[in-house]
Amino acid sequence: MWELRAYIKPYWKYVLLGPIFMLLEVFFDLLQPRLAAHIVTFGVVERDFSVIEMTGIFMAVVALLSLITGVACNLFASRASQNFGADIREALFKKVQTFSFENVDQLKSGSLITRMTSDVVQVQNLVQMALQGLVRAPGLLIGSVVMALLMNVRLGLILLGTLVALSLVLIILIKFSTKLFSAVQTRLDAVNTRIQENVAGIRVIKAFVRSGYETERFNAVNRDYTQISIRAARFIALNAPIVTFIMNACLVAILLYGGKDLVTQGSVQVGELVAFINYVIQVLSSLLMVSGLLMNVSQANVSAKRIQEVLATQPKIEDTKRQDHKGGNAMLPVKHVKLSGVAFSYSGSTSANELVLRDINLEARRGETIAIIGATGSGKSTLVQLIPRLYDVTSGSIQIDGTDIRELPFTELRRSIGMMLQESFLFTGTIRDNIAFGSPGASQADVESAARIAQAHDFIVHLPDGYETLLGQKGVNLSGGQKQRVSIARALLIKPPILIMDDSASALDLGTERKLRDALTAIMKDTVTFIIAQRITSVAQAHKIIVLDDGMIAGSGTHEELLASCEVYQDIYRSQFGKEEVAAYVRQHQSIASN
């Protein structure tokens, strides 16, 4: 928790005022047993009603003051803790925004959600309790013991011995519970991850009638979480009975000793014994509170470490420290993109067994369209994700106009790239907001122009609210093809010098795709374009086609050149158009070459 202290500093006034008011409440509560003793000794025993009346009024005033100071403490503690939690959540969210894909892969999205929700709540609650309970409980405990010792040392020593025994028991319980609390949060990560995965893939689950199977998988992680939670709860549940038993034993000992030996001898008055018992009861209640708080401290400490782990994580991909970039919305005047000896593995290892891409060399100039084709898992999407530095190359380099992209600021590099990802991810909001996501200040005319090029305008205007139509989570109320066209419009609106289309037309019919290619022709004259596609028809007109096979370039050239010379490309063509056409084309090309 100490490492998170910076997030509480802005609210130091609340942190200071809360304990002050709580100490005042404790002071007033400690007065009550003394006042009760005064009533018994000088009012009840002496049968003096005026003493009972005056002391009773004074006790009522003290009780009211205790209420007022307690409410004030609660208000200040709530303000401090809630703001503290909000700032940590904000810091965590900002930190996650700086993470590369590798960081998210390592920490896992389900765990990140747990840390930003459940773990933050744990430390937030601890601050609330620290400003209230961790002041009230020790204050009441120490104050009651001191007052008891002042009243009678011999009875006080019985109380002190009891406290030593209780302290040893609590230390043992906390020592064993810390590991359990850590395991509880880890199991909760697994539950959240499973829930997130199932909600995201609910359509696939329904389509393949796998609800029963997924329910069993969820039940497995849920049972693990439940079992470890029960074990942790057992330790928490042991606190109250143990504390109550030991303190009740202490109370019995004090009554026996005080009542039999001291009262009969006249060394202690009845009122003082009543007050002493009240202090013992206050000690009992404060001990119950302390034991619970110590468990919460142990639990919150685990959560604090998990939060700090995220905050201390350094992004795998660091932004450049260069200060000579334009910043803002500036884009790079891209004329040439070059990949030299690029190799990549997700683990960062250069071992041949782990490399996803190996020895990739290619160049692209403004106005050129580079198509990338290959079997599933050949590394196509991974390759284009290296250009905007979503991942960093393991070896080799990627240069834009002769400058290594690792020397370019993230802002300029990524603003210069319009990327249409394989998954058409749309946000909750209007269609217009989604198209203008990368350019919030775009005019309606520019938004509609980008939508027309993307072949999205016609279906958008036929929606009930047109461009102001609200989309559900991930654009659930649009079809796959419609989502792809909105995503394409989003990338086109920023008018990037580098355009990456990662299988972004896979859900479009051939007619719509043809219209899209025709509409993009004018734009591509001023851009460096990379297209990933599964269909030969989508890449046949590209200036150069790169054929990937098992992470390596198996062929490079135009459609005609590859069809005549590249076996991998021929296999892809054959799977889509048939063996006869490939054989006929090869014979024709060989005849032309021989002449």
Instruction: Write the pLDDT tens digit of every residue in 6-31.
Output: 888 888 898 889 888 988 888 888 78
Is residue 523 domain-shared with residue 447, that is, in the same domain? no
Domain boundary among 284, 312, 340: 312
* Phi, psi angles (nearest 5°) of residue 219: -60, -35
pLDDT digits (tens, 9 = 90+) for 407-430: 888 888 888 888 887 777 888 889
Instruction: Match 């999407």 to its residue by tokens.
Output: 381
* Residues 210, 132 share a domain: yes
| Confidence (pLDDT) at 268 | 61
Vertex 582: Cα angle to 581 and 583 (nearest 5): 95
Judge whether residue 569 has pLDDT over 60. yes
Read off the pLDDT of residues 291-316 as tens digits, 9 standing for 90 and up.
667 767 777 887 888 889 889 888 88
pLDDT at 115 over 80: yes
Q: Give yes or no for a contact between 406 and 320, defined as CB atoms under 8 angstroms apart.
A: yes
The residue-averaged pLDDT of 573-592 equals: 61
Beta strands in 431-489 (DSSP E): 470-471
Alpha-carbon span 463 to 469, nearest angstrom: 7
What is the domain extent for residue 256?
2-312
Mean of pLDDT values over 134-146: 78
Confidence of residue 595 (pLDDT cuts 50, 70, 90): very low
Q: Examine residue 225 and state whether it is found in any structural domain, yes or no.
A: yes
Strands 357-365 and 395-400: unpaired
Q: pLDDT-based confidence at 379, cuts 50/70/90?
A: confident
Looking at the predicted structure, is the pLDDT value of residue 283 above 60?
yes
Tell me the HSE value of 319 on the side-chain side, using a 13 A CA sphere. Answer: 14
pTM above 0.85, yes or no: no
Shared domain for 184 and 306, answered yes or no, is yes
Measure the CA angle with vertex 48, ends 44 and 50; round to 5°: 115
Helices (H), 99-210: 101-107, 109-114, 120-131, 133-151, 153-200, 202-207
Q: What is the mean pLDDT of the chain?
A: 81
Are 127 and 84 within 8 A, CB to CB?
Answer: yes
Phi–psi pair at 79, nearest 5 degrees: -60, -45
> Within 13 Å, how many C-alpha atoms sit on residue 249's CB side?
11
210 and 254 together in one domain? yes
Boundary of a domain, candidates 472, 495, 518: 495
Q: pLDDT tens across 504-557, in order?
A: 777 777 788 888 888 888 888 889 999 988 888 888 888 899 999 988 999 999
Same-domain pairing of 430 and 397:
no
How many alpha carbons fall within 13 Å on the CB side of residue 36? 16
| Shared-domain flag, residues 451 and 518 | no
So what's the pLDDT on residue 319?
79
Q: Quick one: 479 and 526 in the same domain?
A: no
**Domain end: 262, 277, 312, which one?**
312
260 and 187 in a common domain = yes
> Residue 213 burial (CB < 10 Å; 0-12/13-18/19+)?
exposed
Q: Do residue 59 and residue 133 come from a single domain?
A: yes
**Residues counted in the chain:** 595
Instruction: Give a yes or no: residue 566 inside a domain.
Output: no
What is the mean pLDDT of the segment spanning 129-142? Answer: 78
Task: For the sheet with 528-532, list strands across it.
Answer: 417-420, 498-502, 528-532, 369-374, 544-549, 552-557
Q: Check which CATH number belongs to the domain holding 216 and give it.
A: 1.20.1560.10
Please tell me the predicted confidence (pLDDT) of residue 328.
Answer: 52
- Same domain (yes/no): 102, 210: yes
Using CA of residue 341, residue 342, residue 345, residue 349, what is the dihedral sign?
Answer: positive
Residues 512 and 531 in one domain: yes
Domains of the chain: total? 3
Main-chain dihedrals φ then ψ at residue 377, nearest 5 degrees: 85, 10
The 10 Å CB-count burial string (b at 16+, else e) for 139-172 is bbbebbbebbbebbeebbebbeebbeebeeebee
Phi, psi (deg, nearest 5) at residue 365: -115, 165
- Residues 516 and 574: their CA atoms lie apart, in Å, by 25
**Which of residues 399 and 113 earns the better pLDDT score?**
399
Asked whether residue 391 is domain-assigned, the answer is yes
Residue 581 lies in a domain: no
Query: In the predicted model, is pLDDT for residue 343 greater than 90?
Result: yes
**pLDDT recorded at residue 322:** 55
510 within a domain of the structure (yes/no): yes
Q: Which of 61-70, 455-464, 472-481, 579-588 has the lowest mean pLDDT?
A: 579-588
Those residues with Cβ within 8 angstroms of residue 486's Cβ, 6 or more apart along the chain or in another chain: 424, 426, 431, 434, 435, 451, 454, 456, 460, 475, 478
CB 341 within 8 A of CB 553: no
The confidence score (pLDDT) of residue 361 equals 93
pLDDT beyond 90 at 327:
no
Q: Which of 202-211, 309-318, 397-406 has the highest mean pLDDT?
A: 397-406
What is the CATH number for 426? Answer: 3.40.50.300
295's CB contacts (< 8 A; 6+ apart) are 173, 174, 177, 235, 236, 239
Looking at the domain assignment, is residue 440 inside a domain? yes
Contact partners, residue 388, CB within 8 Å, separation at least 6:
413, 414, 417, 419, 500
Q: Residue 572 domain-assigned?
A: no
For residue 263, the model assigns a pLDDT of 56
Does some domain include residue 15? yes
Planar angle of CA 57, 58, 63, nearest 5 degrees: 95
Residues 341 and 240 placed together within one structural domain of the fold: no
